[in-house]
Amino acid sequence: MLWDLIDIIRDNWLLLLIGQYPNGPLGGFAATLILSTLSIALAFPLSILIAFARLSKNPLLLWPSTVLVYVARGVPLLMLILWVYFMVPLLIGANVPGFVTMLVTLVIYEGAFLSEVVRGGIVALGRGQMETARALGHGYFGAMLYVILPQALYNVMPSILSQFVSAIKETTLGYVINVPELTFAANQINNQLLTQPFQVFFILAIIYFLVCWTLTRLALTLERRIARKRAGMPGIPLSLNPQSQTAEL
């Protein structure tokens, strides 16, 4: 059994790592990492904009952003992927590579989720900081930029990191629209070997687990450090955040 695993890894590690690159598109673990990193990197600024819209009193901002967040949170990701997969080519009249489809979907989906995290971080600061900044003459966006966001985003860093962990797991769904990521690579191996599905998918599980577990540990460490730091900061209410922001794996 153990030898089987080692054999499979020895024969296929390159495929698992980078897919069929350079003979085909970049795939495997590299694609998974690129897809999840890029999706969070793009979703993060988007989430701040959505959070602003959700905190706004202007109905033209408030309503669409609220609908977006509720739809993204109320619909299975797989459905969103299929929607983007079938609808976007119809709308723009051209084929879209699976990787791009997956990236767009993830950015919207993660953006909606992260916006709630960011909004929570802003609300948790309380009114005092915003009020003080305004009293000093800062405009709304100046106050956000220099006073509110630096604190709010710092405080929600653990949640952002755990959203990144979710994103890594969510990239597996790219498999259904043939995005050549890690799960796709594993399935290719399985199709070649035919007789060892348990071993192949065990390896796959181990890889995901190691990466996600490491990142989750990191998030927890970060969260503890922030909690310690916050304990000494009277400006940031302790009581608003009694629970761990980071879900255990």
Q: How far is the CB of 25 from other proteins (least distance, A)?
A: 43
**Residues numbered 138-167 forming contacts with other proteins, rule: CB under 8 A:** 138-140, 142, 146-147, 150-151, 154
Does 123 interact with other proteins (rule: CB under 8 A)? no
CB 161 to other proteins: min, Å: 19
Cβ distance 3 to 196 under 8 Å? no
Query: Does 120 participate in binding other proteins (rule CB under 8 A)?
Result: no
The answer to the question of residue 57 lying near other proteins (CB under 8 A) is no
User: Rounded distance, CA 229 to CA 157, Å?
Assistant: 14
Taking Cα atoms as reference points, which of 149, 158, 160, 159 lies closest to residue 125?
Answer: 149
Residues that contact other proteins, how many (by CB under 8 A): 24
Stretch that binds other proteins, among 68-76, 99-107, 109-117, 127-135 (CB under 8 A): 127-135
**Closer to other proteins by Cβ: residue 125 or 168:** 125
Question: What x-and-dash track marks residues 190-229 binding other proteins by CB under 8 A?
Answer: ---------------------------------------x
- CB of 126 vs other proteins, minimal distance in Å: 10
Q: According to the binding rule CB under 8 A, does residue 232 interact with other proteins?
A: yes
How near is the Cβ of 53 to other proteins at its closest, in Å? 18
Contacting other proteins within 177-196 (CB under 8 A): none
- Which residues make up the interface to other proteins (CB under 8 A)? 128-129, 131-140, 142, 146-147, 150-151, 154, 229, 232-236
